[in-house]
A = this chain, B = another copy of it.
């Protein structure tokens, strides 16, 4: 199995790709796939495979994978389930690098016979197989893109450090769409469906050594081998943080998961225990996945003492509430910090944490307060509320925040609540790597997760 996992490189970084079930009809999956590679400017060779055609989109079409001349690194299959085992055999015969099977109609509808044949061929040949019943792979670095959803409906994110491993295509695609929306960079997207040959543990192992990946998101419904998953999580999470979302938590969800990918969701309590044991960060929904992932690129805090800056008292109060309910602490400012702050504040201001700069506060006040707090050894992390609606806040605030984030001495996150105008600010900050939230609750919870993971990394270092 270790060899199969290593062989995945062919699938993620191929020089030649074959598309079995390629079609000349617009909007058919076999056509969307071909367009992904042509329009997506895949730098290698693309071979359409379909005995019905001589040529598609100006490319020579082959009747089978084995009839393609030369090496085939990655085969994408989108034909009816019944035809797939023979195609996989043909790929093995051709010594293809690896196969992505998008087609459904296997374990999830009890066609274990078809699945078994695929599994056997893969294990005998050492050829990795992703799927079936999935969206396959998206790699913005190499332009591999087997996602058969139109680009105008599903934005593709830019290249970056976040890897997604997802059992569900639907969850995977929405997550990808959201990553593009938030401006986050992705290293690899792997939708693996029924996990007939390779499972989530295998992909975790692969990504541990993947240079482009520095954080991993895992959406799982049910693992075939819980022990294997636990061991993989323990090993990988020490090197790269894993953020996990488990579906099929209750009885109804478990039944739904079974009819979805043919996997048994298993006891949620067991998964929760496994996440805890592996110190994996668990998210409770798709929104939380993003809340968490975007703060993990910030420097690791040394403790849980948070300083809050605000230009609106009420939002400061709400943030203080969240800090306490998440078990974090409001930092005590040093005498030095208090002195600096007193000079910034108007006469009716109060030197306190949350620090209310009041609605009259301009960008300079934020800059000075942040500088003082970055230098204060009693503060581990900064939550900065910027209500962009007040007149003195202008675009220079972006410079102040990116500067604070780029210094990389303490993690920061910003909170800005509001409509279209505010959202524009949040998106700019996000694109500059400054985590920006639309609610105190989300920001504080995310910071809490970063603190917990940082503490774990600190323990690992000490144990060495």
Contact = CB atoms under 8 A, between A and B. Distances in A.
Interface in A66-115: 104-105, 108-109
A177 B419 contact: yes
Most buried by B among A170, A181, A257, A419: A170
Contacts of A418: 154, 173-174, 177-178, 181
Contacts of A325: 249-250
Interface string A433-446: 00000111110000
B169 A312 contact: yes
A170 B387 contact: yes
Given A324-B253, A441-B284, A417 B317 contact: no
B389 A314 contact: no
Report, as a range, how many residues of chain A touch the other chain: 35 or more
Given A252-B320, A259-B352, A348-B105, A389 B181 contact: no
Contacts of A54: none
A354 B219 CA distance: 19
Q: Copy number in this complex? A: 2
A389 B149 contact: yes
A57 interface: no
A105 B252 CA distance: 56
A462 interface: no
Most buried by B among A180, A245, A286: A286
B171 A315 contact: yes
B287 A442 contact: yes
Nearest to A312: B170
Contacts of A350: 259
A261 B323 CA distance: 21
A318 interface: yes
A221 interface: yes
Nearest to A315: B170
A279 B418 CA distance: 29
B440 A317 contact: no
Interface in A233-288: 245, 247-253, 255-257, 259-261, 265, 284-287
Closest 5 A/B residue pairs (Cβ): A170-B312, A168-B314, A181-B419, A250-B324, A260-B313
14 contacts: A108-B348, A153-B389, A153-B391, A168-B315, A170-B312, A170-B314, A172-B314, A174-B389, A178-B418, A247-B318, A250-B325, A251-B324, A255-B320, A256-B317
